[in-house]
Amino acid sequence: MSETTVGTVSRIAGSFVTAKHMTGSRMFELAKVGEAGIIGEIIRLEGDVAVIQAYEETEGLKLGEKVFGTGKPLSVELGPGLIGQIFDGVQRPLTVISDTFGPLIQRGVEAPALDRKKKWYFQPKMKKGIKAIGGDLLGIVQETPLVKHGIIVPPNVGGVVEDICSEGDYTIADPIAEIRTAEGVKRLFLMHTWPVRRPRPYKAMLPLTMPLLSGQRIIDSFFPVAKGGIAAITGGFGTGKTVVLQTLAIWIDADIVIYIGCGERGNEMADVLERFSKLKITRLDQPLMSRTIFVANVSNMPIVAREASIYTGITLAEYYRDMGYNVAVMADSTSRWAEALREISGRLEEMPGEEGYPAYLASRLAEFYARAGHVQSIGSEEREGSITVLAAISPPGGDFSEPVTTNTLRLAKVFWALDFALAHRRHFPAINWFMSYSEYLHMLEPWFTNVERDWQKLSEEARTLLKEEEELREIVALIGAEILGDKQRSIFEAAKMLKEYFLLQNAFHPVDSYCPIDKTYRMLRTLLKFYKKTKTAIDSGVSLTKILSLSVREELSRLKTIPSKEFNEANLELNREMDEQFEKLISEASGSEST
């Protein structure tokens, strides 16, 4: 890291260091403070005085120690070797630091994010003499079995290719091409850097037409999220936010997953890492880590580094989006990020807003979520990529009216509200089907219609059934259950079956943890068919008690644990048995009436 400006420490207040004689410094410039080389970022400039936000502990730092400005903003290294890595909030590789310096990060430790010695097999896709612009593909590196890493011309570079390397093995420090730009000849490498606070450019924002399938029945059928969309998952302590995000990271229909552990407990992140390192993507028969990047800034790390971790994660996502990949960003949780903003704002003595959060909380959230979307990438070739942000929010006491939740819901199009009452009853995922919503339903209707023509109709029927059951429950609470006839009681029973056999899903079951979209549809259709036949049978004089004693009802409970390969045959057989058993009941009822 090159050093430019030299100043001296004049004040120390926790993780904030004031330095004088910093003429020539710029906002958000990285600085190294003191003999320990503590990494920090300039967040305020007044004349030649700079306020530096340190990303490490400042204990032992003395007045008068030197401060070195680097002349560069906080940036990330982008190139082969990102997949499978675990970084902290400022992209230091935690595994490398652990192996070299021990389990705890020492102050001033610097380690390159990408391995400078590892060689990658580069296949050029461009020739000499061609005019290249930002986003053009220089060549390909097979990063993992699942990821073909496109080596692209950085967005701010363009010109005539004067030289490009032949096919072969190169490190990220080896030049692979030379481009003559207006400023002169620029050498390109397998990697380049990009400031985390500056969004990477794209050609155009495209409409959202494809769902990001999760394998979770309540999400895919009731509250789907589109590729390039924004979803907020909110709930109090113990409602299962982290488990839902972990399950989505394992099964979600994305090419790349970036999991940001922002202020979460260290033991939780350790469990995630241990679990993910052992898992496979079943449908692809590849290790889960072959498409996953972790950005971990846990609760025992310096709080101010949390603020950077969100930007680091989204910048990595934009890089893979530019290659044409669909990227899912799991941010767990944005509440901890907002708390870091609140602490930084307080130490800067800024005017506080609601509940002590800075007045610019809404705009910072909007800046972050604006980097999601389905876009046409820059470059001569036609490439499309997307970033879907799935953000967990941890409102104190489960209060959804607090500032982080309310400001996020103005931006997110999908809201998965986790309910403590459902979690207490061991119903997971504990997504409340009355409070949650998805504004992508109408955008995704053509896609679901191609899967099955009556998909949206079935989904609406299921939600209507749950709503009718809730209304009846309120009446029963007031008057009593004695007034209900078989038809009203059948609504309770059908809703109970829908909750237990369809909406309830075991994240740790080898079969039920993931439900393909066609199986989800057929399960829902079969359950609703049972309800419709129940109503018809009651109209024909069959008692609800006899209907509930049918053997096919018990078989419905086993549908979700039938493996996908065997499901269609088993489901057809169950439907045949259902038809026969209901026909027998109705004919018996008709016979008894005639006698």
Looking at per-residue pLDDT, the higher value among 271 and 139 belongs to 139
Rounded-to-integer distance, Cα 188 and Cα 194, Å: 14
Rounded mean pLDDT, 442-456: 89
Name every residue whose Cβ is closer than 8 Å to that of residue 401 and which is 6 or more positions away in sequence: none
User: Where residue 497 falls among pLDDT bands split at 50, 70, 90?
Assistant: very high
- Tell me which residue has tokens 């879907």: 388
CATH number of 6-73: 2.40.30.20
Looking at per-residue pLDDT, the higher value among 590 and 142 belongs to 142
pLDDT of residue 517: 94
Please report, to the nearest 10 degrees, the dihedral formed by the alpha carbons of residues 21, 27, 29, 30 taken in order: 80
Q: Comparing C-alpha atoms, which of 43, 36, 106, 69 is closest to residue 343?
A: 43
The secondary structure of the chain in percent helix, strand, coil, rounded to multiples of 5, reads 40, 25, 35
67-71, 324-328, 569-573: range with lowest mean pLDDT: 67-71
Name every residue whose Cβ is closer than 8 Å to that of residue 203 and which is 6 or more positions away in sequence: 375, 376, 377, 378
pLDDT of residue 347: 78
Reading the block at residue 88, the tokens are 């902290």
94-98, 205-209, 225-229, 537-541: range with lowest mean pLDDT: 94-98
Q: Where are the domains of the chain?
A: 6-73, 90-192, 204-440, 455-594
DSSP assignment letter at 352: B
Q: Give the distance, in angstroms, between the CA of residue 580 and the centroid of all CA atoms in the same chain.
A: 46
4-8, 204-208, 468-472: range with lowest mean pLDDT: 4-8
Helix axes 266-278, 241-251, angle to 10 degrees: 20
Rounded-to-integer distance, Cα 422 and Cα 429, Å: 8
Q: Comparing C-alpha atoms, which of 471, 456, 486 is closest to residue 220?
A: 456
User: Where residue 54 falls among pLDDT bands split at 50, 70, 90?
Assistant: confident
Rounded mean pLDDT, 530-534: 96
Q: Comparing C-alpha atoms, which of 372, 459, 457 is closest to residue 412?
A: 372
At position 537, the amino acid (one-letter code) is A
Rounded-to-integer distance, Cα 150 and Cα 139, Å: 6
Reading the block at residue 57, the tokens are 């502990």
Q: In degrees, to the nearest 5, what angle opens at C-alpha 487 toward C-alphas 485 and 491?
A: 115
User: Where residue 593 falls among pLDDT bands split at 50, 70, 90?
Assistant: low
Of the chain, the percentage scoring pLDDT greater than 90 comes to: 67
Whether 526 shows a pLDDT value over 60: the answer reads yes
CATH number of 90-192: 2.40.50.100
Rounded-to-integer distance, Cα 248 and Cα 24, Å: 46
pLDDT of residue 279: 81
Cβ-contact 49, 19 below 8 angstroms: yes
Q: Comparing C-alpha atoms, which of 116, 113, 135 is closest to residue 125?
A: 135
- Tell me which residue has tokens 């609406």: 460
Strands 131-132 and 159-164: what pairing?
A: antiparallel
Q: Comparing C-alpha atoms, which of 568, 472, 570 is closest to residue 521?
A: 568
Q: 455-594: what CATH class?
A: mainly alpha
pLDDT of residue 75: 93
Q: What count of Cα atoms within 13 Å lies in the side-chain half-sphere of residue 286?
A: 12
Per-residue pLDDT tens digits for 28-47: 899 999 988 888 889 889 99
Rounded-to-integer distance, Cα 438 and Cα 239, Å: 20
Per-residue pLDDT tens digits for 272-303: 888 888 887 777 778 889 999 999 887 766 67
Residue 299: phi, psi to the nearest 5? -65, -20
Cβ-contact 262, 337 below 8 angstroms: yes
Whether 2 shows a pLDDT value over 60: the answer reads no
Reading the block at residue 509, the tokens are 């079951």
Please report, to the nearest 10 degrees, the dihedral formed by the alpha carbons of residues 357, 359, 365, 371 taken in order: -150
pLDDT of residue 3: 58
Reading the block at residue 505, the tokens are 């899903």
DSSP notation for 327-367 = EEEEEETHHHHHHHHHHHHHHTTPPB-GGG-BTTHHHHHHH
Return left, alpha or beta for 24; rule: phi > 0 is left, psi -120 to 50 is alpha, else beta: left
Whether 250 shows a pLDDT value over 80: the answer reads yes
Name every residue whose Cβ is closer than 8 Å to that of residue 545 and which is 6 or more positions away in sequence: none
Per-residue pLDDT tens digits for 55-114: 888 888 999 999 998 888 989 999 999 999 999 888 989 888 888 777 666 777 788 999
Rounded mean pLDDT, 462-484: 86
User: Where residue 594 falls among pLDDT bands split at 50, 70, 90?
Assistant: low
Whether 243 shows a pLDDT value over 90: the answer reads no
Whether 383 shows a pLDDT value over 80: the answer reads yes
Of the chain, the percentage scoring pLDDT greater than 70 comes to: 97
Whether 475 shows a pLDDT value over 90: the answer reads no
pLDDT of residue 87: 92
Q: Comparing C-alpha atoms, which of 419, 390, 391 is closest to residue 499?
A: 419
204-440 CATH pick, 3.30.230.10, 2.30.110.10, 3.40.50.300, 1.10.3720.10? 3.40.50.300
pLDDT of residue 592: 65
pLDDT of residue 360: 93
Rounded mean pLDDT, 559-585: 95
Whether 436 shows a pLDDT value over 70: the answer reads yes
Cβ of 100: how many Cβ atoms within 10 Å?
Answer: 11
At position 396, the amino acid (one-letter code) is P
pLDDT of residue 246: 84
* Range with the largest mean pLDDT of 90-94, 115-119, 588-592: 115-119
Cβ of 371: how many Cβ atoms within 10 Å?
Answer: 18
Whether 403 shows a pLDDT value over 70: the answer reads yes
Say whether pTM exceeds 0.85: yes
Looking at per-residue pLDDT, the higher value among 571 and 479 belongs to 571
Rounded mean pLDDT, 506-528: 93
Rounded mean pLDDT, 245-271: 86
User: Strand pairing partners for 73?
Assistant: 29
Residue 186 class from Cβ within 10 Å (0-12 exposed, 13-18 middle, 19+ buried)?
Answer: middle
Whether 443 shows a pLDDT value over 90: the answer reads yes
Enumerate helices (H) and strands (E) in the chain, giving the number of each. Answer: 16, 28
- Three-class SS string for 397-465? HHCCCCHHHHHHHCCCCEEEEECHHHHHCCCCCCECCCCCEECCHHHHHHHHHHHCCCHHHHHHHHHHH
Q: What does pLDDT average to over the chain?
A: 90
Whether 406 shows a pLDDT value over 90: the answer reads yes
